[in-house]
Amino acid sequence: MTRIVKATFLERSRRLSYWALIILALIAAVIGYPRIKGPIKVFVLEPNLFIQASNPSWVPVSVVLVLGLFLPIISYLFLKNTIGIDDQNHTNVLMASVSFSKIKYIGGKFLANCLLLFILWIVIILATIIMVILQFPGKFIDFYQFLTPFLTLLPGIFIISTLAIFTEIVPFLRGILGIILVSFFSLICYGVSIENYNSFFLKIINPSGSSYLFKMIQDTCVKTVGQPLKQTMLLSSGNFKETGKQTLFFLPIKFTQQDLLIFIIQLIICIVMLILAGFIFSPHKYSNKIRKNSIPINLVHDHHKLKTINSKSASSSLLKTSFALLWRPLSIYNKLALIILWLTAWLSSLAIKQLIILPLILLTELPLLSNLGSQITQFSFYQWLMTIPKAQNKQQFFEYVASLTFTLILFLPFMLKSSYTALLLVCFSIMICMLAQVLGLITKGNRMFIFLMVIFCFIYLNGITNLLPINKLNPSVCLVYLGVTLVLFLIKCSLKQLIK
């Protein structure tokens, strides 16, 4: 097991994606500083009563609240291919021919995941200490008080490490469905914990540990002013005036024997899931899967047929091929869900279309859009295209046109409402397809785009429809989407220049 831990840790830690994860976490920590000014208010509590961010105790609480919202999902996306790495290196083919302990193999992968996230946790703490020193020079708080908010993230390390392995081994959770379910599970737990922070069951399953923070915030407010919180804003764009005069100094989180029991239960659940994953895992299936997924190449020996193929419209052929490459990998259930949602959209009211069907269509289309830019680069065929002048540019163009056409067809039931709605959805489709392709070309994968779209759909499903207001006129949104598209297009052009 020690060798598995060491090999997995060294392999993952040397990847650029791990350093990108650390940088992303540091950026989130900086964003998490409780700024009172600016278009987005990160963390605001009762501005009519309290002076906001008046002392160092606000910093760790605000940073952990923001990280608790995003870090579990980002960490899960990074760890998702823990087993898949052995597929890429063809290690599973060798494993299928020897006898080994699957439980030890899964346990080694789990410990390596925990070690990677633990190092990330340490880096975030050090970055927050630096922020406290810079923002409040000469002011200090007790180290235990500073550390307790970060301790609430530790159980999430074990939960996310377990979920990453379990969902990768269970067949129907191995793809994008597992990513969507885990992401929504984490976000829903975080949202429910704002009000139900005393729930014993929620504390067990919540990977963000936010229940402890929200309880501590409420207890601190009750002790300071004698009443619970009435107004709390996290990552809000609302306008308000800070008229409070009282200083709020957060108390350290007090962990009890019940919290220790919860942690033990979490560990037991993780161990059970890992043992179950060990029984399900079979390297033979993975090696067989590699053989089944190999793409057959049919050579054309008949020169008359070859001449007939070349005489057809090249553009039409490329467009059909691009769409087929995006459509065929979708499961039959995914295709049926898209068709059912599209037909339901024609029969539903405007409110149902906007609040439910639109984000569900985006989530269901996610497996198709997430392959833009990344799927074709996995094959040596894409590198071969470099030998033909402008072949890669044509492939990217027709891939983009195919995805854009399909997206517009899905949005057709919404676009017939009004000319403005049609214009808005066209601008959004142009932007979203360009975003998917550019991120796919940069990262050579689909996880960053999936993460952004899951967050977008979750926010939209929670009633923040201003991101895509199909029921009211808002030209500025169209301009924003077109502006983002222009920036993405320039990034794409610069990528081509770098490759040359």
pLDDT tens, position by position, 239-275: 666 667 788 888 889 899 999 999 999 999 999 999 9
| Statement to judge: residues 284 and 387 lie in one domain | no
Last residue of a domain, one of 240, 272, 289: 289
Model pLDDT, residue 408? 93
* Residue 410: predicted pLDDT: 92
Do 277 and 394 share a domain, yes or no?
no
- Say whether both 259 and 387 belong to one domain: no
Q: Supply the pLDDT for residue 40.
A: 64
The tally of CA atoms less than 13 A away on the side-chain side of residue 292 is 6
Look at residue 399 in the predicted model and tell me its pLDDT.
Answer: 87
Looking at residue 50, its pLDDT comes to 83
Are 393 and 443 in contact by the 8 Å Cβ rule? The answer is no
Are residues 356 and 433 located together in one domain of the fold? yes
Give the C-alpha separation, 82 to 71, whole Å. 18
Query: Is 305 contained in some domain?
Result: no
* Whether residues 234 and 322 fall in one domain: no
Measured from the Cβ of residue 347, the count of other Cβ atoms closer than 10 Å reads 9
- Of residues 378 and 331, the one with the higher pLDDT is 331
Q: Are residues 225 and 269 in the same domain?
A: yes
Higher pLDDT, 9 or 262: 262
Q: Is the pLDDT of residue 301 over 50?
A: no
Q: Cα separation of 381 and 429, whole Å?
A: 28
Give, in order, the Cα–Cα distances in Å from 125 to each of 60, 63, 403.
9, 10, 42
pLDDT above 80: residue 295: no
- Please tell me whether residues 468 and 380 are part of one structural domain: yes
How confident is the model at residue 314, as a pLDDT?
60
Average pLDDT over residues 213-232: 85
Confidence band, pLDDT 50/70/90 cuts, at residue 483: very high
CA distance 472 to 420: 8
Determine the longest span between alpha carbons in the chain, in angstroms: 88
3-state secondary structure of 83: coil
- Positive or negative, the CA dihedral 177, 179, 183, 186 is positive
Percent of the chain topping pLDDT 70: 82
* pLDDT above 90 (res 450): no
Mean pLDDT for 205-226 is 89
Residue 161's domain comprises 2-289
Give pLDDT tens digits for 112-146.
Answer: 999 999 999 999 999 888 888 888 888 878 888 89
Q: Are residues 280 and 402 in the same domain?
A: no
